Amino acid sequence: MSKFFATPVRDASTAVADYFVPANAPFSCLVKKGESVRIVDLEGQQAVDTLFYRADDFSERYSSQDTLRVQGSAYVSTGTKLISSEGNLMLTVTADTCGRHDTSAGACSCEANTVRFGHQVKYLHACRENFVIEVMKHGMSKRDVVPNINFFMNVPVEPSGELAIVDGISGPGDYVELKAEMDVLLVISNCPQINNPCNGFNPTPIQVLVFAGEEG
């Protein structure tokens, strides 16, 4: 585990829900207002692409740009407020053992992969495939899929505006914890990308834990 920034420090055994998300897989679950969700990078160097939707109105969704604007900075870590497309506070990052997460670069897709890596990689499972599969379970479609947060991905934006090319910085067991400020649907693509170092060339499983709110 790397650095540690968290309040309060929670014991994993007190979680009210404990989900195992296999390598490459999509996942979703509801997180109620006041509950906290912990996303654990079990083996390290695994990008976790994540979206949030307001549980009682999916047309209100995570907005990377509103989040960056309110935050005033390009990186996500402890204290970051995740803002919706309606300008409402969705979740607050309350713990982070990794130190930096990306919300500028969005998710991989078969189509973007052909542009980045060549047409021969088109038929490789990608995050947008996961997102479409998962949101359609909830009556949504591709138009509900917007640029997301990439937990455990380090995409430095340089003063020149260039995006730097760097390896993942998370180690086994690193986690990020978010307190829900409204009832949200959490949607994850456990990134299947194997064409660059963001997953250490080997996508691995993650764990999602939900903790009850302080007031019970």
Binding site for other proteins (CB under 8 A): 43, 59, 63-66, 68-69, 72-75, 85, 87, 104-107, 109-119, 128, 141-147, 156-163, 165, 172, 194-197, 200-202
Read off the tokens for 173.
Answer: 């067991």
Which of 72, 216 has the CB closer to other proteins?
A: 72
Spell out the residues 6+ positions from residue 120 whose beta carbon is closer than 8 angstroms to its own: none
Site for Zn ion contains 193 (CB under 5 A) = yes
* β-pair type (48-54, 57-61): antiparallel
Task: Output the smallest distance, CB 214 to other proteins, in A.
Answer: 27
Say which entry of other proteins, Zn ion, none residue 116 contacts (CB below 5 to 8 A, set by partner kind): other proteins
Which of 9, 119 has the CB closer to other proteins?
A: 119
Which of 48, 182 has the CB closer to Zn ion?
A: 48
Which of 51, 127 has the CB closer to Zn ion?
A: 127
Site for Zn ion contains 46 (CB under 5 A) = no
215 Rama sector, left if φ>0, alpha if ψ -120 to 50, beta otherwise: alpha
Give the separation between CA 101 and CA 76, rounded to whole angstroms: 5
Say which entry of other proteins, Zn ion, none residue 158 contacts (CB below 5 to 8 A, set by partner kind): other proteins
Among 15, 108, 149, 206, indicate the residue that binds Zn ion (CB under 5 A): 108
